[in-house]
């Protein structure tokens, strides 16, 4: 029963409620021990077009497949979740900026290379990704806002890209 309340049925990833609780704990741990953690926010590009063109069952198939790809991509102590709709989030404790960017650029490429097929119709999908780090935030709300701001910028810049929030300039790169 506890697992059912923490796991998204479609993607088999943790749900938003579980994610928020875990984020609080990981953020506090990073601050307490002076380590760096990353928060990844990602959104499937033009997902509404998939639902409108192929139907909601095709959309569900895409979400399920993306959940599986993400679950096999994350490290053992990372936490991946379905944040809502076609949005996903990953908490990465104890990371370096370079390895995080490289790992999620590989994930972005993996999603783009993944063939999707529904009722003999083939299509592809891309993902936009925003990254923020605990040292850029004074609170969990800041961390979420920074990751969201980076994600929004990735979507504004033609999608299918990664943007990292830069704390010093209050902008993204």
| CA-based radius of gyration for the chain | 16
- Catalytic entry in 28, 36, 86, 109: 86
Q: Is 86 a catalytic residue?
A: yes
pLDDT greater than 60 at residue 33:
yes
pLDDT at 166: 87
150: Cβ–Cβ under 8 A, 6 or more apart, which residues?
41, 129, 130, 131, 132, 163, 164, 165, 172
pLDDT at 3: 56
CA 134, CA 38: separation in Å to the nearest integer?
6
SS3 content of the chain, % helix, strand, coil (to 5): 50, 25, 25
Cα 150 from chain centroid (whole Å): 12
pLDDT greater than 80 at residue 169:
no
pLDDT greater than 80 at residue 168:
no
Q: In terms of C-beta distances under 8 Å and separation of at least 24 residues, what long-range contacts does 115-124 make, across chains too?
A: 116/58, 116/61, 116/62, 116/65, 118/54, 118/55, 118/57, 118/58, 118/61, 119/54, 119/58, 121/54, 123/50, 123/53, 123/54
Give tens-digit pLDDT for 47-68. 999 999 999 999 999 999 999 9
In a 10 Å sphere around its CB, with 0-12 CB exposed, 13-18 middle and 19+ buried, how is residue 141 labelled? exposed
> What average pLDDT score do residues 94-121 get?
94
CA 141, CA 130: separation in Å to the nearest integer?
15
> What average pLDDT score do residues 77-101 get?
94
> What average pLDDT score do residues 71-82 get?
96
CB hemisphere CA count around 65 (13 angstroms): 19
pLDDT at 172: 60
pLDDT at 171: 55
pLDDT greater than 50 at residue 97:
yes
pLDDT at 165: 95
């Amino acid at each position: 029963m506890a697992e059912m309340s923490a796991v998204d049925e479609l993607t088999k990833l943790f749900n938003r409620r579980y994610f928020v609780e875990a984020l609080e704990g990981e953020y506090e741990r990073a601050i307490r021990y002076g380590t760096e953690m990353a928060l990844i926010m990602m959104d499937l590009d033009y997902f509404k077009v998939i639902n409108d063109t192929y139907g909601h069952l095709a959309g569900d198939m895409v979400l399920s497949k993306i959940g599986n790809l993400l679950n096999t991509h994350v490290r053992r102590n990372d936490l991946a979740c379905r944040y809502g709709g076609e949005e996903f989030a990953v908490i990465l404790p104890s990371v370096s900026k370079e390895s995080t960017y490289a790992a999620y650029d590989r994930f972005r490429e993996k999603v783009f290379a993944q063939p999707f097929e529904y009722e003999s119709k083939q299509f592809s999908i891309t993902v936009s990704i925003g990254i923020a780090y605990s040292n850029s935030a004074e609170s969990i709300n800041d961390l979420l806002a920074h990751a969201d701001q980076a994600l929004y910028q990735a979507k504004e810049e033609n999608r299918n890209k990664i943007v990292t929030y830069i704390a010093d300039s209050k902008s993204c790169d």
